[in-house]
Structure 1
Amino acid sequence: MQETKPKWRMLLEIFFISTRLGLTSFGGPVAHLGYFHEEYVRRRKWMDEKSYADLVALCQFLPGPASSQVGMGIGLMRGGLIGGVISFIGFTFPSVVALILFALLLLQYGALDAGWIQGLKIVAVVVVAHAILGMAKNLTPDVKRKTIAMAAVIIVLIWQAVFSQVVVILGAALVGFLLYRNQKIDDPAASRSFPISRRVGTFCLLLFAGLLISLPILRELTSSTLVAMIDSFYRAGSLVFGGGHVVLPLLEREFVPTGWLTEEQFLAGYGAAQAVPGPLFTFASYIGAVMNGWLGGIIATVAIFTPAFLLVFGVLPFWDQLRRNEKVKGALMGVNAAVVGILLAALYDPIFTSAITTSVDFSFAVLLFGMLVFWKRPPWVVVLTGAIGGSLIAIFI
């Protein structure tokens, strides 16, 4: 899987690829997983299907920005701790810069053009659908796992609670264990080496818990606005399940009632966060910049993403050893099938329901799907075509 090349070249490659994804990955966290699957699994084969599905399942289970955590994990497996950091920086930096600039310079220009945003939403439908087709072929090959995926779709769509995905993953793990516990499983992903020790993982988990406990205490003791801001963002990054769409209303409750920014400022940033590529958690960069300029934007970004780093780097060493255990593999088969169902549910709501509203939208989605799947055009070409086509549709139709 991993060819021999100088470490600096490997790290540079991680940075350039993750930055390109950060510039072109529109559509929210589920769409990002589709882009990652296309780039890292299908094209570059840095990971196999099972390893990628295991990583997605873990990050869906952890609190924080799931797609960013998957990107960190891929960089970590490819280039060690530095690779994980570089992968995060590349994927996140474009949207951080865009939202800080928006906060400082562009608020007075009003709403963004809805045409190209609508086109990017349609691109997200295509990318996620393509990823799900590929993952379903490999991860739900038999009737039992197809049934687990189908049940996951139904439960997640009907029971739309904060912890529904976590409950579905736990239930699928139990069902998979019961169904496959006595079956010999050929799992080539289990032989993958891992670049972090359990000692480092333990340190990261202890630091995560220590900051979560100590920051609110320090906030009360110091009455510092800076400490209060760091505490609010760190807590949001630590306790939010379900990704960026969930963190946005949480941040509104943290910062609007306190008077740190107005409702109008929040809504303007909300729209910008939906329009830019990359993780929705970078909405924190906008809020920090509104509060305290460039420095505030950088501090807010570091604070909200630090829990994601500590959790991924802390849990992955233990996760890797568990997934090699024969007794755990059956549970992982159930979990991976459930992940396919969870992604399919997200493809319908909110991605499809918000993007495909007319027959023209659906027709354009079919064209983009053909470009990606049949004509094998690169994802960035599909993204550019979606943005231009969305603008033309808004003008002429």
Structure 2
Amino acid sequence: MRESVLWSLIVVFVPFSLVSIGGGPSIFAGIQHQSVEVYHWVTAREFVDLFAIARAAPGPGSMLVTLLGWKVAGWTGAIVATLALFVPSSLLCYAVTKMWNHYRGRHWHTALEEGLAPIGAGLILAGVFAVFRIAGAGIMSWAVAGISAAILAWRPKLNPLILLAGGAVAFAFWHGM
């Protein structure tokens, strides 16, 4: 039984590792779907809680996978899930980087780089929608996220901590301090 759970972690997270264009947030929607709806490893509420812990803890937000692995199969699951997510993409990235730099400056190289940017943005947006949906985010959450995204699009060099503080103030006023 334990081997099948560990194998399931590998089967789920290795493909996500290889398609995580835009980083960890780009695969959160798929991870949520697999861990909550397909494999039933955690409930929607547990997923949101683990997501919050992963985002609050230092390190990459994709450490959510480590927490899911731990929840499913203890320390062994945490290690297996983490390695399944980080090792394949790291090896692929290393190999692609070696080749990528060789072809830098060619027209197809530039077109490919520019074409992948909206794909990464779309995947990240899908992750945001998935987390907001299962968290039961209200109108205030959507408004703060939308306004923050618009401000960052308009002023990309603005420190995001300013927006975080503004969101905290908005929520404080919304909930009556």
2:43 to 32, 37, 48: 48
Inter-partner Cα distance in structure 1 for 2:70 and 2:60 = 16
Given that 1:55 and 1:73 are in contact with CA atoms closer than 8 Å, whether structure 2 keeps it comes out as yes
* Structure-1-length-normalised TM-score: 0.36
Offset of residue 169 of structure 1: 7.4
Q: 1:77 to 1:123 in 2, by over 3 A?
A: same
Q: 1:138 to 1:65 in 2, by over 3 A?
A: closer
1:136 to 132, 137, 149: 132
* Alignment map for 1:260-271 (pairs within 5 Å): none
Offset of residue 65 of structure 1: 1.0
1:339 corresponds in structure 2 to none
Offset of residue 155 of structure 1: 4.3
Equivalent residue letter for 1:92: F
1:123 corresponds in structure 2 to 119
Given that 1:11 and 1:83 are in contact with CA atoms closer than 8 Å, whether structure 2 keeps it comes out as yes
Given that 2:26 and 2:126 are in contact with CA atoms closer than 8 Å, whether structure 1 keeps it comes out as no
Given that 1:49 and 1:135 are in contact with CA atoms closer than 8 Å, whether structure 2 keeps it comes out as no
Question: How many residues are paired up?
Answer: 168
Inter-partner Cα distance in structure 2 for 1:79 and 1:175 = 42
Inter-partner Cα distance in structure 1 for 2:167 and 2:77 = 28
1:8 corresponds in structure 2 to 3
Any stretches of 5+ residues in structure 1 without a counterpart? Answer: 1-5, 180-397
Q: 1:65 to 1:156 in 2, by over 3 A?
A: same
1:25 corresponds in structure 2 to 20
Q: 1:8 to 1:99 in 2, by over 3 A?
A: same
Inter-partner Cα distance in structure 1 for 2:119 and 2:147 = 24
1:58 corresponds in structure 2 to 53
1:161 corresponds in structure 2 to 159
Q: 1:39 to 1:27 in 2, by over 3 A?
A: farther
Inter-partner Cα distance in structure 1 for 2:148 and 2:171 = 15
Offset of residue 134 of structure 1: 4.0
| 1:316-366 CA distance string (max 9 Å, x none) | xxxxxxxxxxxxxxxxxxxxxxxxxxxxxxxxxxxxxxxxxxxxxxxxxxx
Q: Does 1:70 find its partner at 2:64? A: yes
* Structure-2-length-normalised TM-score: 0.72
Given that 1:76 and 1:84 are in contact with CA atoms closer than 8 Å, whether structure 2 keeps it comes out as yes
Aligned residues: percent identity?
Answer: 15
Inter-partner Cα distance in structure 1 for 2:163 and 2:49 = 15
Inter-partner Cα distance in structure 1 for 2:55 and 2:167 = 9
Offset of residue 36 of structure 1: 1.8
Q: Does 1:79 find its partner at 2:79? A: no
2:33 corresponds in structure 1 to 38
Given that 1:148 and 1:172 are in contact with CA atoms closer than 8 Å, whether structure 2 keeps it comes out as no
| Partner-residue secondary structure (3-state), 2:8 | helix
Inter-partner Cα distance in structure 2 for 1:34 and 1:20 = 14
Given that 2:26 and 2:125 are in contact with CA atoms closer than 8 Å, whether structure 1 keeps it comes out as no
* Alignment map for 1:160-239 (pairs within 5 Å): 160-164=158-162, 167=165
Given that 2:24 and 2:61 are in contact with CA atoms closer than 8 Å, whether structure 1 keeps it comes out as yes
Inter-partner Cα distance in structure 1 for 2:28 and 2:66 = 12
Given that 1:38 and 1:131 are in contact with CA atoms closer than 8 Å, whether structure 2 keeps it comes out as no
Offset of residue 31 of structure 1: 1.0
Offset of residue 92 of structure 1: 0.8
Q: 1:170 to 1:84 in 2, by over 3 A?
A: farther
Q: Give me the CA root mean square deviation.
A: 3.3
Inter-partner Cα distance in structure 1 for 2:51 and 2:119 = 21
Inter-partner Cα distance in structure 2 for 1:166 and 1:38 = 27
Equivalent residue letter for 1:100: Y
Q: 1:55 to 1:96 in 2, by over 3 A?
A: same
Offset of residue 171 of structure 1: 5.4
